[in-house]
Structure 1
Amino acid sequence: MKQIVLWSLLIVPWASLLLLKPDTIRRYMPVALLMTIIHTLTYQAAYYYNWWNESKSSLFGWDRIMPVPWVYGAYLIVVIWVFRFTYGQFWLYLTVNLVMDGLFMYLAYPLLGRLGFVSAESSLPTIAIYAMMIGFSLIIYLYHMWQNDIFKAPEETSKERQRTNWPKLHLRRKAR
């Protein structure tokens, strides 16, 4: 049963991307990958400093330090969905992260610990992990703000060029 749940945490989130437009996935995938890197580094630090132990969430055996179903499945895809519905509305984004991270840390994680899916042991207080998660969400929001111009749809870019009166190169070619 445990293996089914862990495989579901890896596959079902990825399958949910079929409900999104490819442009949406392309727009938010860089920020989701950044969050994946942050989570990977955090899990490695947690292992090294004995903050927590997630070997119970191992799916492959070699992922005892950093659980693949969580980091490369659920966490990665949740970032895309949260950005899809909240980006551009910072206070909504922050509220959604505060609520989701709070529900996860104070309700879901203890339940998953009792069921044997995660380690219920941690040398860090829950509030410290919760603050870390909120800090990460702020970092990736700032990153996406920085990257946002790169991932605008082509029609948005052409409308901006028209508004700023950029030279129309195709007209110059015809004049020659």
Structure 2
Amino acid sequence: MAHFVMWFLLIGPWFLLFFFDTERMKRFVPVGIFAALLLTIVFQIAQRYEWWIIHDNLFFLTNMTPFIYGVF
């Protein structure tokens, strides 16, 4: 069940792009990319200094949650 939720958090928000206006996408996509990049760096630092431990993840996201690339 946890993997289903994680796959939904990764893939589900991408389907909302079909309903957005193109002007809105041009305005907010750069911010989303920057936020995803920043959170990726934070997760890499957190793994190095062992700030937290992620127990369940998807097979290609070794030390991150799907929240980063799905919602942002």
Q: TM-score, normalised by structure 2?
A: 0.87
Where do 1:58-97 residues align within 5 Å? 58-60=57-59, 62-67=60-65, 69-74=66-71, 76=72
Where do 1:117-128 residues align within 5 Å? none
- Structure 1: gaps of 5 or more residues: 77-176
Identical aligned residues as a percent? 33
> Does 2:3 correspond to 1:10?
no
Displacement of 1:53: 1.4
Q: Secondary structure at the match of 2:51?
A: coil
Aligned twin of 1:23:
23
In our comparison, the structure showing a higher alpha carbon Rg is 1
Where do 1:1-176 residues align within 5 Å? 1-56=1-56, 58-60=57-59, 62-67=60-65, 69-74=66-71, 76=72
Structure 1 vs Structure 2 CA RMSD: 1.3
Relative distance call for 1:54 and 1:43 in structure 2 (3 A) is: same
Displacement of 1:64: 2.1
Q: What per-residue deviation string (whole Å, max 9, x for no partner) do you get for residues 77-103 of structure 1?
A: xxxxxxxxxxxxxxxxxxxxxxxxxxx
Displacement of 1:32: 0.7
Aligned twin of 1:163:
none
Q: What per-residue deviation string (whole Å, max 9, x for no partner) do you get for residues 88-139 of structure 1?
A: xxxxxxxxxxxxxxxxxxxxxxxxxxxxxxxxxxxxxxxxxxxxxxxxxxxx
Letter in structure 1 aligned against 2:30: P
User: Structure 1: how far apart are the matches of 2:8 and 2:41?
Assistant: 24
TM superposition outliers: structure 1 runs of 4+ over 3 Å? none
